[in-house]
Amino acid sequence: MHIIEHIYINGNFVTPEGDEWLDIIKPADGSVIGKARLANRCDAERAISAAHAAFPAFAATRVETRITLLEQMYASVKAAEAELHAAILLEYGAPSSRSRWMASYPADVIRHVIEELKNYPFSQQAGRAIVQMVPLGVAGLITPWNSNAGFICHKLATAVAAGCTTVIKPSEYSVLQTEVIARALHRAGLPDGVFNIVTGRGDTAGHAISTSPKVAKISFTGSTASGKAILRSAAETFKRVTLELGGKSPTLILPDADAASAAEMAVQAGFINSGQACIAGTRILVPVQRKAEFEQALTAAVKKHRSGDPAEPDTTVGPMVNEKQWQRVQRYIALGEEEGARLLAGGTGRPEGLQAGWYVKPTLFSDVTNRMQIARDEIFGPVLSIIAYHDEAEAITIANDTDYGLSALVIGQDEAHARQVGEQILAGRVMINTLAHEPRAPFGGFRRSGIGREMGHWGISAFLEPRAVTLA
At 381, phi and psi to the nearest 5? -160, 175
Q: Which lies closer to ligand NAD via its Cβ, residue 76 or residue 158?
A: 158
Q: Closest approach of Cβ 137 to ligand NAD, in Å?
A: 18
Which residues is 25 bridged to in the sheet?
A: 32
**Residue 263, strand partner residues:** none
The contacts of residue 139 (CB under 8 Å, 6+ apart) are 155, 159, 164, 165, 166, 167, 215, 216, 217, 218, 219, 463
Chain positions 341 to 380 lying near ligand NAD, rule: CB under 6 A, are 378, 380
CB 339 within 8 A of CB 42: no
Stretch that binds ligand NAD, among 127-135, 238-246, 357-365, 429-437 (CB under 6 A): 238-246
Single residue of 142, 162, 266, 329 touching ligand NAD by CB under 6 A: 142
Shortest distance, position 157 Cβ to ligand NAD, whole Å: 16
- The yes or no reply on residue 207 touching ligand NAD (CB under 6 A) is yes
Residue 42: exposure state from Cβ atoms within 10 A (0-12, 13-18, ≥19): middle
Cβ closer to ligand NAD: 202 or 412? 202
332 binds ligand NAD (CB under 6 A): no
Among 36, 175, 230, 269, binds ligand NAD (CB under 6 A): 230
Dist. CA 329–CA 380, nearest whole Å: 7
Amino acid at 251: T
Do the Cβ atoms of 16 and 158 come closer than 8 Å?
no
Binding of ligand NAD at residue 271 (CB under 6 A)? no
State which residue, 232 or 304, has the beta carbon closest to ligand NAD.
232
Q: Where are the alpha helices (DSSP H) in 80-147?
A: 81-87, 96-118
Q: Which of 40, 99, 146, 433 binds ligand NAD (CB under 6 A)?
A: 146
Q: What are phi and psi of 243, to 5 degrees?
A: -120, 125
**How far is residue 377's CA from residue 467's CA, in Å, rounded to a whole number?**
41
Give catalytic status of residue 278 as yes or no: yes
Smallest separation (angstroms) from ligand NAD to the CB of 116 = 18
Q: In this chain, which stretch among 25-33, 120-128, 139-147, 387-395 interacts with ligand NAD, using CB under 6 A?
A: 139-147
Q: Compute the distance between CA of residue 15 and CA of residue 243 in angstroms, rounded to an integer.
A: 30
244 binds ligand NAD (CB under 6 A): yes
Largest CA distance in the chain: 78
Which residue from 93, 106, 163, 206 is in contact with ligand NAD, where contact means CB under 6 A?
206
The site that binds ligand NAD (CB under 6 A) totals a number of residues, namely 29
Give the phi and the psi of residue 432 in degrees, each rounded to 5: -110, 110
| Region of 86-94, 240-248, 285-293, 295-303 interacting with ligand NAD (CB under 6 A) | 240-248
By the rule CB under 6 A, 38 interacts with ligand NAD: no
> Is 244 tagged catalytic?
yes
Nearest to 137 by CA among 114, 167, 171, 182: 167
Annotate each residue in 277-296 with x if it binds ligand NAD (CB under 6 A) or - if it does not, as one string.
-x------------------
Give the nearest distance from C-beta 226 to ligand NAD in angstroms: 3
Q: What is the 3-state secondary structure (H, E, C) of 372-387?
A: CHHHHCCCCCCEEEEE
From 103-111, 176-184, 206-214, 294-302, span contacting ligand NAD (CB under 6 A): 206-214
What share of residues in the chain are helix, strand, coil (percent, to 5)?
45, 25, 35
Contact between 74 and ligand NAD per CB under 6 A: no
User: At its nearest, how many Å lie between ligand NAD and the CB of residue 294?
Assistant: 26
253 vs 406, beta carbon nearer ligand NAD: 406
Which of these ranges, 15-23, 65-73, 138-146, 157-165, lies near ligand NAD under the rule CB under 6 A?
Answer: 138-146
Minimal CA–CA distance to 455: which of 229, 196, 123, 221? 221
Reference 136, options 470, 466, 468; nearest CA is 466
58 vs 404 by CB, closer to ligand NAD: 404
Is 135:160 a contact under the CB 8 Å cutoff? no
For the beta carbon of residue 344, count every other beta carbon within 10 angstroms. 19
Which is the catalytic residue, given 278, 295, 378, 454?
278
Binding site for ligand NAD (CB under 6 A): 142-147, 169, 171-172, 202-203, 206-207, 210, 221-223, 226, 229-230, 244-247, 278, 378, 380, 406, 450
Active site residues: 244, 278
